[in-house]
Chain A
Amino acid sequence: MSSRLDSRFTELKQANRAALVTYICAGDPGYDASLSLLKQLPAAGADIIELGMPFSDPMADGPTIQAAALRALNAGQTQLKTLQMVRDFRAQDSVTPLVLMGYYNPIHRYGAKGFMRDASEAGVDGLLIVDLPAEHDSELGPLAREYGLDMIRMATPTTDATRLPVVLERASGFLYYVSLNGVTGVGQADNAVVARALGRIREHSDLPICVGFGVRTPAQAAAFASAADGVIVGSALVDCIGRADSAKQGVADVLTLVSELAEAIRSAR
Chain B
Amino acid sequence: MTHTSTQFSQGADAQGQFGSFGGRFVAESLMPLVLDLEVAFNTALAEPDFLTELDRFQAEFVGRPSPLYFAERMTELYGGAKIFFKREELNHTGAHKINNCIGQILLAKRMGKTRIIAETGAGMHGVAAATVAARFGLPCVVYMGATDIERQRDNVSRMRLMGAEIVPVVSGTGTLKDAMNEALRDWVTNVDNTFYMIGTVAGPHPYPTMVREFQAVIGRETRLQMLAREGRLPDSLIACIGGGSNAMGLFHPFLDDPTVQMVGVEAAGEGLTSGKHAASLKGGVPGVLHGNRTYLLQDGDGQITDAHSVSAGLDYPGIGPEHAWLHEQGRVEYSAVTDQEALAAFHVCCRQEGIIPALETAHALAEVARRAALLPKDHLMVVCLSGRGDKDMPTVLRLMEEQA
Q: Tell which of B25, B28, B188, B300 touches A104, judged by Cβ atoms closer than 8 Å.
A: B25
* Chain B residues within 8 Å of A131, by CB: 25-27, 288, 291
B301 touches A181 (CB 8 A): no
The closest CB in chain A to the CB of B290 belongs to A59
| Residue B96 lies at the interface, judged by CB distance under 8 Å to chain A | no
B300 touches A133 (CB 8 A): no
Contact, CB under 8 Å: B304 / A186: no
Contacts between the two chains (Cβ within 8 Å), count: 117
- B302 and A109 contacting across the interface, CB-CB below 8 Å: yes
Segment from B29-37, B222-230, B244-252 that makes contact with A: B29-37
Q: How far is the CB of A136 from chain B (nearest CB, A)?
A: 6
Interface residue? B51 (CB, 8 A): no
Map CB proximity to B onto A91-110 as digits: 1 under 8 Å, 0 otherwise: 00000000000011111111
Among B31, B177, B185, B303, point to the contact of A73 (Cβ < 8 A).
B303
Classify the interface of chain B: helix, strand, loop or mixed. mixed
Instruction: Assess whether B302 is in contact with A107, with CB atoms less than 8 Å apart.
Output: yes
Known A181-B29, A181-B191; contact A108-B301, beta-carbon cutoff 8 A: no
| Interface of chain A residues 114 through 169 with chain B (CB within 8 A) | 130-136, 153-160, 163, 167
Of the candidates B29, B178, B293, which one forms a contact with A156 in the assembled complex, judged by CB atoms under 8 Å apart?
B29
In Å, the complex CA distance between A134 and B32 comes to 12
Which residue of B26, B171, B177 is within 8 Å of A63 (Cβ)? B171
Q: Are A183 and B24 in contact (CB under 8 A)?
A: no
**Number of A interface residues in the complex (CB < 8 A):** 43
Contact A109 B300 (CB under 8 A): yes
Q: Do residues B304 and A182 form an inter-chain contact, with CB atoms below 8 A?
A: no
Whether the Cβ atoms of A110 and B302 lie closer than 8 Å is yes
> Are A155 and B302 within 8 A (Cβ)?
no
**In the complex the two chains form, is B188's CB within 8 Å of A106's CB?**
no
Task: Find out whether the CB atom of A104 lies under 8 angstroms from the CB atom of B185.
Answer: no
Which single member of A59, A109, A167, A183 contacts B287 (CB below 8 Å)?
A109
Report chain B residues within 8 Å CB of A134. 28, 31
Pairwise interchain contact B189-A153, C-beta atoms closer than 8 A: no
A75 at interface by CB-CB < 8 Å: no
A56 interface hit (Cβ, 8 Å): yes
Chain A residues with CB below 8 A from B291, complex form: 131
Query: Once the chains bind, are B185 and A60 in contact (CB under 8 Å)?
Result: yes
Q: Which residues of A contact B29 (CB under 8 A)?
A: 60, 154, 156-158, 178, 181
Is A154 in contact with B304, judged by CB distance below 8 angstroms?
Answer: no
Find A79's partner among B27, B28, B302 (CB 8 Å cutoff). Answer: B302
Which residues of the partner chain B approach A103 to less than 8 Å between Cβ atoms? 288
The answer to whether A135 and B24 have CB atoms under 8 Å apart is yes
Q: Is A136 a contact partner of B25 (Cβ separation < 8 A)?
A: yes
Residues from chain A with Cβ under 8 Å of B302 in the complex: 55, 79, 105-110
Q: A109-B287, A131-B288, A181-B191 known; A155 and B28 CB under 8 Å?
A: yes
A159, B32: Cβ atoms closer than 8 Å: yes
Q: Is A22 an interface residue (CB 8 A)?
A: no
7 CB contacts below 8 A, A to B, read A59-B181, A131-B291, A133-B25, A133-B31, A154-B28, A155-B28, A183-B188
Q: A58-B181, A60-B184 are in contact. List 13 more A-B contacts (CB 8 A).
A: A79-B302, A109-B300, A109-B301, A109-B302, A110-B301, A130-B27, A131-B26, A131-B291, A136-B24, A155-B28, A159-B28, A181-B191, A183-B188
Q: Which residues of B contact A (CB under 8 A)?
A: 15, 23-33, 171-172, 177-178, 181, 184-185, 188-191, 285-291, 293, 296, 298, 300-304
